[in-house]
Structure 1
Amino acid sequence: MYRITRFMLAPLAVSILLSAGCVNYAGINHQGKLLSLGEAPSDSLKDKLPAAAWPSSDWWTSLGDPRLGALIEEAYASNPDLQEVTARVAKANAFLDLRDAERYPQMDAEAGVTRGRLSKFEDYSGEGHKYFTARNLAVNFNYTFDLWGGQRAAWESALNSAMAAQVDLQSSRLILTVNVVKAYNQLAYAWQVSELNRRDLERLSKLVELTDSRYGSGLDNLSQLKQVQSLKARSESTLIGANEDIEIARLQLSALIGKGVDRAQTIERPASLQASVVALPAQLPAQLLGRRPDIVAARWRVEAENKNIDAVKTTFYPNINLVAAAGSHALTGDALFAGVSKFWNVAPTVTLPIFDAGRLRSDLKAGNAQLDGSIAQYNRVLSSALHEVAISVTQLRSFEQQIVVQRDACTIAQSSYDLSQSRYKAGEDTFLDALNIEQQLIQDEMRLAFLNSKHIDSSISLMAALGGGFQEQPLQAAQSAGL
């Protein structure tokens, strides 16, 4: 049996001794530093809202419209952007399988028949005009020893990248969910505005009739009649715009769920929605690191680049590659399996980079720059996440206070309108006075509808800023299949 002797391994020992004076990575390091929680702004949030539980995975149900969940599931199934991210996840998993396969030996078999004619110069007898048929059957073996763990580090880098891609899918689902819910809220607000504008048009139509009657009786002049007619025409235009907003909101929603224009016409008017978040979870931002998919994905990418650098560093060291082959070569068919036609060979090879004009160092510098970029991205995502929470909390608090005041304004306007109706029926006020007071009531209700819509939007933004029900899978569970 063929054996690798100590004389064959001698080049490896020589290579190891020479490695100290060969290509090295001294002085090449990354510069980035991960942002710590102590440096992240968060304490100012504690006093703004009381403590509460983290958002659940179906947080949109608290808005109060069960039809919203069906639209979200439809978007999950049909949205093209989400399908694109899903394809990237499949690609990352395929690359992970490739890196895993590179850690193992490679073996293949080959068989062939070659028919040819020899020229005079190729024929050892110098005659030429000869034909030959060569048959071959062989098994080839190739294996690179992972002496320094470079192949394993490359596999771990691919694993971390695949995990980042998987979390990106969860982040995309959250973004899609938020966009669908906000579009649904915008549709609900558009319906409210249209309804209030219709009421305003009805009021102005009555005002035109009254003014026209008073003009006929000589109580008002033509200028007053033209003025109220102009107000009515303006209101009609505003109502047309409000109805257009409804159609646009439907189209935007149908685009988000990945359906055609016809689907927009089947979307019904939403129910009255309610803001769902008025509190903050405890232990913020410590738990935010595992509840925000974009933060988790950014951290996976930092780990992926760390492992990639480990893999690049091993290319500076000597390594061993083993190539072997066995089979049979014959010029006649009956000799293909004869003993004289059989062959085998084993070729261990030791490689050591001695001079490469800086190629390996350049690769390592590029890897460290990529790591610095991933660290900067992680820091940016973490800081942005905390600011998003702060902005959403500030908006929620502000809209809550504005809504309280605006509700009081609506109550006062309603009381004033009721009083004007009573006074009109008693003959103490004119119908014109009552219509003018109703205009103020409609304006106050329009303002209240706007504030409620913005309040709901802010609560949705806070849900997204807190991770939207995402929960990170532990690293051990993610790597259990390969470790």
Structure 2
Amino acid sequence: MTKFARKPVHKPVLPLAVLAAALLSACSMAPTYQRPAAPVAAAFPADTAGAAARTSVPLPLAAGAREAVDTGWRDYFADPRLQQLIAAALENNRDLRTAALRIEEARAQYDIQSADRLPNLNANAAVTKAKTPAFLSPSGQTSIGKRYDAGLAISAFELDFFGRVKSLNDAALAAYLATSEARQAAQISLVAQVAQAYYTERAYAEQYALAQQTYDARARTYKLTQQRAEVGASSRLDLRSSETLMETARAAALTLARQRAQADNALTLLVGQPASGANAGAAGAMPSDRQIDDLSALPAGLPSDLLARRPDLRAAEQRLISANANIGAARAAFFPRISLTAALGSSSPSLNGLFDGGSGSWSFAPQLTLPIFDAGRNRANLGLAEVRKNIAVADYEKAIQTAFREVADALAARDYLGEQVAAQRAVQEAQADRLKLLQLRQDNGVASSLDVLDAQRELFSAQQALVQARLLRTTSAIDLYRALGGGIK
């Protein structure tokens, strides 16, 4: 009997096949991304941006001046109590925590998607037992067969010839980057909100103190008028007018006390912990005019600078990039999808012979799937991806327009609120001087008490309006810092 030599079995080299597949998956059918043109003017309004707007050239930085994006909030807000509140908010604010967790969520989704670009290699071991009836057995006897298998396998790895997986990976990466930028935008917004809430509470506190002082003074005046009325030196009309002013001041003080408590509650929500704790006694006052001037001295630059400065605009652009990449995945769905399933291992009818010589086994099963009829599913998916990209373009352009308006509004406030505060201070000083003159005239019997009471009412209104104007100017400086993409450190 002639014995034939056993031919050697050549095993496929799976790593080389995987490497070749990876090299072939470098193309993408996504449209070439082009940043949309900014749908805003080339410069900010001339009345608010000064020379920078008129010449379309950014104002030169003064000595020592810095861009908003390079100015950390600790450098911008000098109030020690406010710095403590901002630091606590950055640590405890729940919205910011959610934004940070959104980053982790997007990162995990990106990791999941990027894993599809590499084959999944699994180790497996299996045992199979089967009973064959006698009438089906070649030996005519019932038999029980056993088979043991062990090896490594690659299951349904897609060879990304048309860039479907790559496009999905690019979309997931852009979504992750957008989420990261969104967190930075949320942090800048939180810093601004805490500063605004803090100075609002301080303004209410200052107005309340003025109202309480006014009430105390009017209460003393009312008591004197009441004593004069009892002896016939003052009329009942004078008494009622004095009482009206006293109760008006009392009502104003109560209203401001309520508003201050509500402002403190809003600040507590932003900070994430009680804002009026042990350090409440260290709370500062409203910033002075000089301090507000320093806050508002940030250079505006040009609208195009906002694209690099503001993280919310960068996030909107990343969402647009993600939508653009999804079009590539939708286009690739029209083309054949090639997947690879392969295994390399050992098989034996007995467990102790599983790894003996000659027990090696392998399988190689490429698969080609060509879409022929899908009832318009792929075309609808492509249309959906294109519509979503158009929506992302519109959202990106709207974000630019909103940013342009926010900066322009803040610049307008910077230009006009300073003059408004100066005018309101002049009104207060004039009312205070008017009251002194009328009191002198009343002492000399020239002016009536009603004129003095009217001057007191006008002075109180002027004092309250001045505090409100200073708060508006402080808030506008905070808005300018946020609108220009202020620093987050």
Please say if residues 147 and 349 of structure 2, whose CA atoms lie closer than 8 Å, have aligned partners that are also in contact: yes
Partner of 2:339: 321
Matches for 1:60-75 after TM superposition, within 5 Å:
61-75=75-89
Aligned-pair CA distance for 1:29: 9.2
TM-score norm. by structure 2 comes to 0.81
Unaligned runs of 5+ in 1: 5-24, 472-483
Alpha-carbon distance in structure 2 between the residues aligned to 1:61 and 1:418: 43
Matches for 1:21-60 after TM superposition, within 5 Å:
36-37=37-38, 39-41=39-41, 43-50=43-50, 51=59, 53-55=66-68, 56-59=70-73
Partner of 1:144: 158
Specify whether residues 458 and 119 from structure 1 end up closer, same or farther in structure 2 by C-alpha distance, changes over 3 A only: farther
For 1:201, the aligned partner's letter is Y
Matches for 1:92-241 after TM superposition, within 5 Å:
92-113=106-127, 134-142=147-155, 143-241=157-255
- What are the Cα deviations for residues 433-473 of structure 1, in whole angstroms up to 9, with x where unaligned? 656534432221111111010111122112222112379xx
Matches for 1:331-410 after TM superposition, within 5 Å:
331-339=349-357, 341-410=359-428
Q: Please give the secondary structure, in 1, of the residue aligned with 2:485.
A: coil
- What are the Cα deviations for residues 81-101 of structure 1, in whole angstroms up to 9, with x where unaligned? 111111111111112222222
Please say if residues 65 and 272 of structure 1, whose CA atoms lie closer than 8 Å, have aligned partners that are also in contact: no
Please say if residues 88 and 271 of structure 2, whose CA atoms lie closer than 8 Å, have aligned partners that are also in contact: yes
TM-score norm. by structure 1 comes to 0.82
Q: Number of residue pairs matched? A: 446
Please say if residues 160 and 304 of structure 1, whose CA atoms lie closer than 8 Å, have aligned partners that are also in contact: yes
Q: Please give the secondary structure, in 1, of the residue aligned with 2:273.
A: coil
Aligned-pair CA distance for 1:154: 2.3
Aligned-pair CA distance for 1:297: 0.8
Partner of 1:12: none
CA RMSD of aligned residues (A): 3.3
Aligned-pair CA distance for 1:424: 6.8
Please say if residues 245 and 453 of structure 2, whose CA atoms lie closer than 8 Å, have aligned partners that are also in contact: no
Partner of 1:7: none
Please say if residues 250 and 267 of structure 1, whose CA atoms lie closer than 8 Å, have aligned partners that are also in contact: no
The worse-fitting range, judged by mean Cα deviation, of 275-284 and 397-406 is 275-284
For 2:364, the aligned partner's letter is V
Specify whether residues 384 and 354 from structure 1 end up closer, same or farther in structure 2 by C-alpha distance, changes over 3 A only: same
The worse-fitting range, judged by mean Cα deviation, of 261-270 and 364-373 is 261-270
Partner of 1:87: 101
Please say if residues 197 and 267 of structure 2, whose CA atoms lie closer than 8 Å, have aligned partners that are also in contact: yes
For 1:317, the aligned partner's letter is F
The worse-fitting range, judged by mean Cα deviation, of 346-355 and 47-56 is 47-56
Please say if residues 238 and 449 of structure 2, whose CA atoms lie closer than 8 Å, have aligned partners that are also in contact: no
Please say if residues 184 and 270 of structure 1, whose CA atoms lie closer than 8 Å, have aligned partners that are also in contact: no
Specify whether residues 431 and 63 from structure 1 end up closer, same or farther in structure 2 by C-alpha distance, changes over 3 A only: farther
Aligned-pair CA distance for 1:250: 1.2
Unaligned runs of 5+ in 2: 1-9, 14-28, 51-58
Please say if residues 253 and 264 of structure 1, whose CA atoms lie closer than 8 Å, have aligned partners that are also in contact: no
For 1:358, the aligned partner's letter is G
Q: Please give the secondary structure, in 2, of the residue aligned with 1:392.
A: helix
Aligned-pair CA distance for 1:332: 2.5
Aligned-pair CA distance for 1:280: 6.2
Specify whether residues 263 and 108 from structure 1 end up closer, same or farther in structure 2 by C-alpha distance, changes over 3 A only: farther
Alpha-carbon distance in structure 2 between the residues aligned to 1:252 and 1:121: 85
Please say if residues 296 and 480 of structure 2, whose CA atoms lie closer than 8 Å, have aligned partners that are also in contact: no
Aligned-pair CA distance for 1:427: 8.0
Partner of 2:477: 459
Alpha-carbon distance in structure 1 between the residues aligned to 2:488 and 2:95: 19
Q: Please give the secondary structure, in 1, of the residue aligned with 2:190.
A: helix
The worse-fitting range, judged by mean Cα deviation, of 184-193 and 406-415 is 406-415
Please say if residues 57 and 469 of structure 1, whose CA atoms lie closer than 8 Å, have aligned partners that are also in contact: yes
- What are the Cα deviations for residues 239-262 of structure 1, in whole angstroms up to 9, with x where unaligned? 122112222111111110112587
- What are the Cα deviations for residues 88-121 of structure 1, in whole angstroms up to 9, with x where unaligned? 1111111222222211122100124456767779
Please say if residues 170 and 293 of structure 1, whose CA atoms lie closer than 8 Å, have aligned partners that are also in contact: yes
- What are the Cα deviations for residues 45-72 of structure 1, in whole angstroms up to 9, with x where unaligned? 2442443553144246445412212211
Alpha-carbon distance in structure 1 between the residues aligned to 2:350 and 2:44: 88
Aligned-pair CA distance for 1:3: 6.2
The worse-fitting range, judged by mean Cα deviation, of 156-165 and 350-359 is 350-359
Please say if residues 410 and 444 of structure 1, whose CA atoms lie closer than 8 Å, have aligned partners that are also in contact: yes
Matches for 1:3-14 after TM superposition, within 5 Å:
none
Please say if residues 49 and 279 of structure 1, whose CA atoms lie closer than 8 Å, have aligned partners that are also in contact: no
Partner of 2:3: none
Q: Please give the secondary structure, in 1, of the residue aligned with 2:107.
A: helix
Q: Please give the secondary structure, in 2, of the residue aligned with 1:329.
A: strand
Q: Please give the secondary structure, in 2, of the residue aligned with 1:354.
A: coil
